[in-house]
Structure 1
Amino acid sequence: MKKECSTTYNTFAVLFYINRQKVKKNGLCPLMGRISINTEVAQFSTKMEVQPELWDAKKYRLTGKSRIAKEVNVKIDRLEEEIHRHYREILDEQGYITAELVKNAVNGVGQYKRKLLELYREYMEEYAKRVGINRAYGTLKAHKASYKTLQKFIHDCYGAEDIPLKQLDYAFIEKYDNFLRTDMGYSIATVEGYIIKLKTMTRTALAQGTIRYNPFASFIPEKALRKHRHLTMDELQKLMHTPVPNGFLCLVRDMFIFSTFTGISYIDMCNLNTSNLSKDGKGNLWIKFKRQKTKSECAIRLLDIPRRILEKYEGERTSDRLFNMPCRSALTNNMPKLAKLCGIERRLTYHMARHNFGTLITLSQGVPLETVCQMMGHKNMRTTQIYSRLTHQKVDEDVKKLTQRIGNKFRMPEWNKDRENIKNIHYGTGNHYNQ
C-alpha cells in the first residue's frame, strides 16, 4: 500500500510500480520505487523483477500465495521499512529532508556521511589515496593531528563519540576555538590551522548538501601575525665561515647554503637530479625543474657558491640525484646544533633558507619582484611579497640610490634672497596673504 506521513513541513510518500516498457526475455518486469517528499520525486530501482500478471497496482504487492510472491512481498516490506527509517534518521540528524537524500541512503551509492568525525575520516581516506600524486604527506599528517584534537573536543565537551553535522554551527565553532586556546593551550598559529581544517569539513558538507548554510559565514578568527624569518647578513656570514668539523653537520650546512642561494625548498632539493642541470650558450649553469608543491616551472641560474657546492658533492652521488639529502628529521635535529656551533642565537630551520633567498640574496640586491617570483616558483607575486620582507639594509641602499638620482635635479632657493621674504611674514595676522 502507498504510505504517507506528514509533518508540519513535509509530506512523505513511498510507492512501488513495475516498468512494463522494459519486459525482459524471461517475461519479468523490473520493479521500481518512487519517493515523494513535498513536490520532489526521486525514482530508484529495487533490483527486483516480478511477473507483470501477478502485480497489484493498488496494493503495490504481488498477488497469490506462491513462494516467489511471498518472498518478493517480504522484500518489498523490508525495503519500505528501510526507506522510512532513513527518512526519520536524516530528518533527525540534519533538520531537513529531500527525496534525493533518502534515495541515496537507500541505494548506498553516493550516500553522504551525516556526522562530523565520520565525514573527516572519509575525507582523510580519500586524501591518503592522492598523497604523492597531488597531495603532500605532511598535510595529511596535520589533518590526522587535527582530527584527534577535534575528537577530544567532542568527547570532553559534548560527551559523545561524534556529532551530527547539523550541530556544526557558529556556537560549535566558537566553543572549539576557545577549547583550542584555553584547554589545549595552543598558539594562535596552531589554532588558526585547526580552525582552517574544520572549515574544510564544512565546505565538504556544504558541497554534498548535508548542511544548508555556512556556519563560518559570520565567524572571524584571530589570525596570527605572519613572521617570515630570514637570517641577517652577519648571521649568514657566520654560518658560511665557521669551521664545521663534523662531516654530517657540514653536509647539513652546505645544503642549507645551497638552498639559500637558489631558493629551492627541501622536498625539491630531494627531487633534483642531473636532468635538471643545463648550460646556456654563455656557459652559465642553470637548474630547471617543476616544483612539487605548486607544479610551477622554476629556472634558476646558479651563482658561484651553489656551483662550488654542487662540484663538492658530485663525487658523492650514488644515483642520478644531485645530492644525498638527509631525511627531514635529521635536518630538524641538527639545525639547532649548527646554529649553536656558529653562534646564531635563535631557532634555525631549513625553510629559513628559502626566506634568505627571497630577502637577502635577491630583493635586497635589487632583483625585481617578478623575477624573484619566477625563480621561487610562486603562482602569483602576493606570495613572493610575503616571503621577501625588506631589510633595513635594502631600504638604506634604495634611499642612497634615490639621493644620487635626484640630487642635482631639485634645488632650494638661495638662503640670502629668501631671508627678506621671511622677515615680511606677519604670523597669525593673515596679512601676508594680501600682499
Structure 2
Amino acid sequence: MSRSTFSVLFYVNRGKEKNGVVPVMGRVTINCTQSQFSCKKSIPLALWDAKGNCAKGRSKEALQLNRDLDNIKAQIIKHYQHLCDREAFVTAEMVRNSYQGFGSEYETLLNAFDKDIASLKKRVGKDRVISTLWAMQLSRKDTASFIESHYHRKDISMLELTPDFIKDFAAYLSTERGLASGTIWQRCMWLKGVVMRAHYNGKIPRNPFAQFHISPNCKEREFLTEEELKQVMTHDFEDADLAFVRDIFVFICWTALAFVDVKNLTTDDIVDINGDKWIVSHRHKTNVPYQVKLMDVPLQIIERYKHLQEDKFVFGKLNYWSICKKLKKVIAACGIEKQISLHCGRHSWATLALSKGMPIESVSRVLGHTNIVTTQIYARITSQKLNDDLTMLSDKLNASFSNIKMA
C-alpha cells in the first residue's frame, strides 16, 4: 500500500496587494488534493521569500511571522495525525476544516439537524408546508432522546456514526417509544437525510447510513366503496354542521381534491370548457396543474353553499381540525365502521375511477401526481374490478380457443 503524501506550504496572495502589503496564505496537500486557507497574517511583499516560503531577514517583524507560521504548521500536523488515527482516509479539506475549527471533527449530529431545520424554516410557505417542518423537528427530538438514552450524552460527533446507530435508533423507536412502522420509517428518513447532506457537503468523509433501508409498511389506504358512498350521500342529518361536513367530504370524493385545495378553491378556479364546468388550478402541495370536470353532485354542493362564499372562496373559511373531528361523527352516524379521514375521499375517488375503467394515466392527471407510481399506491384495484377484468379476458379467450381440443 502506498503511503499518503502530506505537506504544508505558505505563500502570499499577490492579487490582493494593498500599499505593498500582501496577505499570507496556507496550502495543505495530501495525495495531490489541495486545500487553501488564510493564515490571517500579512507582510510587506519585499520581506517575503518565495523560495523559502517564509519571511526573509532578521527583522523583528520577519522573525515573529516565521514563529507564527511554524506554530500554524505544527497545529495542522497535529490535526492531520489526529484524523489519521480515526479515519480510513484523510483529505486536505478535512485537515483544513479541522484546523479552522468548523470541520468534521467538530460537527455533531444534532448541530447538523439544527442547521437543516433552520434551512427548512426559510422554505415554509414557499415550497414546503409547516407540517413538514414539524415532522423534521420530531425526528430531531427523538434522535436527541435516543442519544441521551443509549450514549448518556447530549450529542454525538458525526465521525462516530456507524451503520448500527440508525439500526439501533429504529429499534429504539419501536421498542421504547412504541411508534408504528410508518412513523419509524419517517423518523429514520429524516435522520438519514441529515447525514447524507453532511457527507455531500464535505462535513464527513463517508455516509454511514448509505446502505440502510427500511420499509414503511404502510397500512392499506382506507376508502369508501360505491355502496358506502351512497350511504353517506343519502343519510339525513338533523345537525346542519354535520350535514355541511358530509357535503365537503362528498365533494372531495367526487372531485379528488385534497382538503387544502378545497379550502383554497375560489370561484375564479371554476371555468366553462365546451359548455361544462371545470376546476382548473394547481395542487397546493406540488404546484402541479390539474383539471377536474364538475359533475352533477359537486355542482349541487357548490350551489347549496353559495351563501357562504366570502372573498371568492367557494366554501367560505374552512377549519381543517374542526371538520376532521366532525367527520368521525358523520361516518359513525352512517353506520360505517372504518377509520375514514378527509384524505380518504381522494382514495375513494381513485378506486372508484379505476373500477369503472378509467385509465390510470388519467387518474394520475386528475389527482395531480408528479409520478404515476404514487397513483398506483393511492388507487387500489378492487376485487370487483379484478373480477370484471378476468371475466372479460376469460370470455375473449373462450371465444378464441372454442374450436381447440386438448390432445
TM bucket (normalised to shorter chain) is 0.7 to 0.9
Give the letter aligned to residue 381 of structure 1: I
CA contact (8 A) 1:94 1:211 kept: no
Q: 1:405 to 1:19 in 2, by over 3 A?
A: closer
Max Rg structure:
1
Q: 1:66-100 deviations in whole A, cap 9, x for unaligned?
A: 6xx68867865775576467546755776643222
Where does residue 60 of structure 2 map in the other structure? 65
Matches within 5 A, 1:37-56: 37-55=30-48
Greater shift in the superposed pair: 323-332 or 182-191: 323-332
**Aligned-partner Cα distance in 1 for 2:229–2:341:** 13
Q: 1:241-265 deviations in whole A, cap 9, x for unaligned?
A: 2222333332222111111101111
**Aligned-partner Cα distance in 1 for 2:15–2:310:** 69
Q: By how many angstroms is 1:334 displaced?
A: 2.1
Q: 1:194 to 1:20 in 2, by over 3 A?
A: closer
Matches within 5 A, 1:9-408: 12-20=6-14, 23-24=17-18, 26-55=19-48, 58=52, 60-61=54-55, 63-65=58-60, 83=76, 87=80, 96-104=89-97, 114-281=107-274, 283-360=275-352, 362-398=353-389
TM-score by length of 2: 0.86
Gaps of 5+ in 1: 1-7, 423-432
Give the letter aligned to residue 347 of structure 2: H
**Aligned-partner Cα distance in 1 for 2:102–2:175:** 42
**Aligned-partner Cα distance in 2 for 1:47–1:72:** 11
Q: By how many angstroms is 1:352 displaced?
A: 0.2
CA contact (8 A) 1:94 1:164 kept: no
Q: 1:406 to 1:18 in 2, by over 3 A?
A: closer
Q: By how many angstroms is 1:351 displaced?
A: 0.7
CA contact (8 A) 1:35 1:43 kept: yes
Q: 1:260-289 deviations in whole A, cap 9, x for unaligned?
A: 1011112222222222111012x2000011
Give the letter aligned to residue 35 of structure 2: A
Q: 1:135 to 1:106 in 2, by over 3 A?
A: farther
CA contact (8 A) 1:276 1:288 kept: yes
Q: By how many angstroms is 1:223 displaced?
A: 4.3
Give the letter aligned to residue 314 of structure 1: K
Identity over the aligned pairs, expressed in percent?
Answer: 33
Secondary structure of 2:224's partner?
coil
**Aligned-partner Cα distance in 1 for 2:319–2:148:** 36
Q: 1:396 to 1:53 in 2, by over 3 A?
A: closer
CA contact (8 A) 1:310 1:322 kept: yes
Secondary structure of 1:32's partner?
strand
**Aligned-partner Cα distance in 1 for 2:26–2:104:** 18
Q: By how many angstroms is 1:33 displaced?
A: 1.6
